[in-house]
A and B are shown apart, each in its own frame.
Chain A
Amino acid sequence: QQPVQSPQAVILREGEDAVINCSSSKALYSVHWYRQKHGEAPVFLMILLKGGEQKGHEKISASFNEKKQQSSLYLTASQLSYSGTYFCGTETGNTGKLIFGQGTTLQVKP
Chain B
Amino acid sequence: NAGVTQTPKFQVLKTGQSMTLQCAQDMNHNSMYWYRQDPGMGLRLIYYSASEGTTDKGEVPNGYNVSRLNKREFSLRLESAAPSQTSVYFCASRSGGAYDTQYFGPGTRLTVL
A-side residues, CB < 8 A to B, are 2, 32, 40-44, 47, 49, 52, 55, 87, 89, 96-103
Q: Which 3 A-B pairs rank lowest in CB-CB distance, beginning with the nearest?
A: A41-B104, A100-B43, A102-B42
Q: Which of B1-56 contact A (CB under 8 A)?
A: 31, 33, 35, 40-45, 48, 50, 56
Instruction: Give min CB distance, B10 to chain A, whole Å.
Output: 12
Residue pair B31, A87 in contact (C-beta under 8 Å): no
Q: Which residue of B lies closest to A98 (CB)?
A: B102
Q: Do A41 and B43 form a contact, CB below 8 Å, given A96-B48, A96-B96?
A: no
Number of B positions contacting A (CB below 8 A): 27
B-side residues, CB < 8 A to A, are 31, 33, 35, 40-45, 48, 50, 56, 58-59, 90, 94, 96, 98-107
* Cα-based distance from A41 to B35 in the complex (angstroms): 11
A-B contact count (CB 8 A): 54
Find B105's partner among A41, A98, A100 (CB 8 Å cutoff): A41
Instruction: Give min CB distance, B59 to chain A, whole Å.
Output: 7
* Cα-based distance from A103 to B44 in the complex (angstroms): 12
CB neighbours of A32 from chain B (8 A):
101-102
Residue pair A101, B42 in contact (C-beta under 8 Å): yes
* Cα-based distance from A34 to B102 in the complex (angstroms): 10
CB neighbours of B104 from chain A (8 A):
41-43
Residue pair B48, A87 in contact (C-beta under 8 Å): no
Residue pair A44, B107 in contact (C-beta under 8 Å): no
* Cα-based distance from A47 to B45 in the complex (angstroms): 19
Q: Do A97 and B48 form a contact, CB below 8 Å, given A41-B105, A89-B102?
A: yes
